[in-house]
């Protein structure tokens, strides 16, 4: 049985994920499946709870152009932790494979540094601004039980939930963003 993208309001998306063991063959298989799902749904990141696994695993690729498979370069982050955030928060629209059909204004610091292990257990750090910095923070939110609804401002949350319900009624699928929620 293949993986499927878990959608809000599934309670598994609200759980804090457990650390996992780098070098595990099952972890490698899961990471590859997650990357495939991310690309199939035009995402730039996916976290393990989004496929029903309560572990600290993230796949990110903010450089893929959405079409040319040769531009794919996924980064697999095992047990990632934010080490540092910098800059005045910037509000920008974010979408999520687990909340299909909407994009929501989220305020985040523009630069992030994250420590993690690769699939073989080697320790690394990644830092980035703009889309990479935002994506790192978004995916690590998932590992800590936070969805778009918890990440947005309280005054936007009700609008976001209502828009999400409308999008679901319209049949929104992961990777689609039909309704843009305003602040």
Q: Which pLDDT belongs to residue 107?
A: 97
Please, which residues bridge with residue 150 across strands? none
Q: Which pLDDT belongs to residue 109?
A: 97
DSSP codes of every residue in the chain: -------TT-GGGGSBPBP--TT-HHHHHHHHHHHHHHHHTT-SEEEGGGGT--B-EEEE-SS--SS-GGG---EEEEEEEEEEEESS-EEEEE--TTSTEEEEEEEE-SEEEEEEE-TTS-EEEEEEEHHHHHHHHHHHHHHBT--HHHHS-HHHHHHHHHHHHHHHHTT--TT-EEEEPP-
Average pLDDT of the residues of the chain:
95
The rounded distance, in Å, linking the Cα atoms of 152 and 178 is 18
The closest of 104, 88, 113 to 163, measured between CA atoms, is 104
Catalytic residue among 15, 26, 122, 139: 139
Strands 57-60 and 101-108: unpaired
pTM score, two decimals?
Answer: 0.95
> In this model, does residue 1 exceed pLDDT 70?
no
Each residue's pLDDT tens digit, 128-144? 999 999 999 999 999 99
Q: Which pLDDT belongs to residue 69?
A: 87
Q: Given pLDDT bands bounded at 50, 70 and 90, which one contains residue 22?
A: very high
Is 139 assigned a catalytic role?
yes
């Amino acid at each position: 049985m293949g993986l499927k993208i878990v959608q809000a309001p599934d309670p598994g998306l609200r759980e804090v994920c457990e650390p996992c063991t780098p070098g595990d063959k099952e972890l490698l298989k899961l990471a590859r499946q997650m990357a495939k799902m991310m690309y199939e749904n035009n995402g730039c990141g996916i976290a393990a709870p989004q496929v029903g696994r309560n572990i600290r695993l993230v796949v990110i690729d903010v450089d893929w152009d959405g079409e040319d498979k040769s531009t794919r370069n996924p980064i697999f982050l095992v047990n990632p932790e934010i080490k540092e955030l910098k800059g005045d928060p910037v509000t920008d629209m974010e979408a999520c494979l687990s909340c299909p059909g909407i994009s929501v204004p989220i305020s985040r610091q523009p630069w992030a540094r994250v420590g993690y292990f690769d699939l073989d257990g080697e320790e690394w750090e990644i830092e980035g601004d703009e889309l990479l910095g935002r994506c790192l923070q978004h995916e690590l939110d998932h590992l800590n039980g936070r969805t778009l609804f918890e990440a947005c401002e309280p005054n936007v949350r009700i609008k976001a939930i209502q828009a999400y319900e409308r999008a679901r009624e319209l049949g929104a699928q992961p990777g689609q963003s039909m309704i843009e929620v305003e602040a």
